[in-house]
Structure 1
Amino acid sequence: MAKILNVNNLGKIYTSGSKKLTVLQDITFDVEEGETFSIVGPSGSGKTTLLGICAGLDQPDSGTVTLCGTELGSLNEDERAILRNRNIGFVFQDFQLLPTLTALENVAIPLELRGDKNAMKNGMELLDKVGLQNRFHHYPSQLSGGEQQRVALARAFSNNPSILFADEPTGNLDAETGEKVIQLLFQLNADAGTTLVIVTHDLELAAKTKHILRLKGGRIIANQETTAL
């Protein structure tokens, strides 16, 4: 199977005054097209930093990331933004919905920016898929946490992404709501045939993916297939 993400010998160092903190060191792994893949580790292990670099939101100090056939280090900021816009979906722990826009507008605006003439209609269909057909005109403040994350899921799939990055997608949700959101995420992902990369500290969630990469202290301590269906 083709590799959609290749990370080779990645390193990241943060400098604060005279101190240097190595956040990631010697990180090498591949993700195959259509795979479900989780990155796990304790707080401070470098998970979110790694996700940001893989998605082209941040740059490494050493090593390379090849995403959707393009080596990210060869692109400037605008070119990375275009690649993200075309190929990547994001789901964040804190939802990142625009508070002054309705649920429908939050989903439709990215579609409009891509030139979709049926943005509102397609936005409605996406919200319908996540069970929010009665919440089109509600603002984020009028929605529960679980509903807000459903809007975020609809938005994440709006550009039919090749790969979706989810950073602690259930981090702000109670256990029952979080389980429902994860079921929905995996169902949408399977329907769309998208590659899914999840950063999580939740080992039960990680066990639902086909592959687990374990980090500790900025290094890989395990890289293994799972028995997930």
Structure 2
Amino acid sequence: MTKILKVSNLEKTYSSGSKKLTVLKDISFTVEEKETFAIVGPSGSGKTTLLGLCAGLDQPDHGAIELCGEEMDSLSEDERAILRNKKVGFVFQDFQLLPTLTALENVAVPLELLGAKNAEKAGKEWLEKVGLGDRLHHYPSQLSGGEQQRVALARAFSNDPEILFADEPTGNLDAETGEKVEKLLFELNTETGTTLVIVTHDIELAQKTGHILRLKGGKIIENTLTSQ
């Protein structure tokens, strides 16, 4: 199997006044292509920081990250942005839809910016796929939380990413809606063959993936394959 994400001896420290806070220490793991992978741990364990580093949104103080065959520390900020735009998808807890754009525009505009032909047609197809074919022209404020996250899923998968990072994708949803979004996330992932990395504190969600990495106090305390 091809390794799509390789993390080696990662460390990240933040300064708070005169004090230094080590958020991540000696983190090493790999994610295989097409794997479903969960990063779990309590609040403050470093999960979201780790996701940001893996996606090239921030840089570590020590260690190396290889994403989609690229050594991240050898890339400029612009080159990292290009890599993310072409090969990485994101789903966030707070949806991060643009409030002044309709559901369709939230999916189609990023595709247009990437130079995709028929971006609007593709956007419609993806929104139909997530069950929102009748909500194309609604703005985020006119959609429920579950509907907004489904728009976010359509947007994330629409550019055919090699890897998708989901940060607490059901964190702002009630249990019933969260289960529906989870089901849809895994269905779309299976259909597209995308590598899926989920950051979550929800162990039930994590157990639906094939691999669990557990953090505590910025360190790995467990790295195991599941029975999935």
Amino acid at match of 2:45: S
How far apart, CA to CA, are the structure 1 residues paired with 2:76 and 2:114?
20
Amino acid at match of 2:14: Y
For 1:30, the equivalent position in structure 2 comes to: 30
How far apart, CA to CA, are the structure 2 residues paired with 1:81 and 1:100?
24
Q: Secondary structure at the match of 1:20?
A: strand
Q: Secondary structure at the match of 2:209?
A: coil
For 1:105, the equivalent position in structure 2 comes to: 105
Q: Secondary structure at the match of 2:12?
A: strand
Q: Would you identify which runs of 4 or more consecutive aligned residues in structure 1 move more than 4 Å?
A: none
Amino acid at match of 2:48: T
TM-score by length of 1: 0.99
User: Paired residues, what number?
Assistant: 228
For 1:62, the equivalent position in structure 2 comes to: 62
For 1:200, the equivalent position in structure 2 comes to: 200
Q: Secondary structure at the match of 2:99?
A: coil
Amino acid at match of 2:148: Q
CA RMSD of aligned residues (A): 0.4
1:45 Cα deviation from its structure 2 partner: 0.1
How far apart, CA to CA, are the structure 2 residues paired with 1:69 and 1:90?
19
Q: Can you give the 5+ residue segments of structure 1 that lack an aligned partner in the other structure?
A: none
How far apart, CA to CA, are the structure 2 residues paired with 1:117 and 1:28?
39
TM-score by length of 2: 1.00
Amino acid at match of 1:32: E
How far apart, CA to CA, are the structure 1 residues paired with 2:3 and 2:116?
29
Q: Can you give the 5+ residue segments of structure 2 that lack an aligned partner in the other structure?
A: none
Fraction of identical pairs, as percent: 78
1:117 Cα deviation from its structure 2 partner: 2.2
For 1:95, the equivalent position in structure 2 comes to: 95
Q: Deviations over 1:197-218 (max 9, x none)?
A: 0000000000000000000000
Q: Secondary structure at the match of 1:157?
A: helix
Amino acid at match of 1:175: A
1:110 Cα deviation from its structure 2 partner: 0.5
How far apart, CA to CA, are the structure 1 residues paired with 2:158 and 2:52?
20
For 1:4, the equivalent position in structure 2 comes to: 4
1:84 matched to 2:84: yes
For 2:121, the equivalent position in structure 1 comes to: 121
Amino acid at match of 2:129: K
1:17 Cα deviation from its structure 2 partner: 1.7
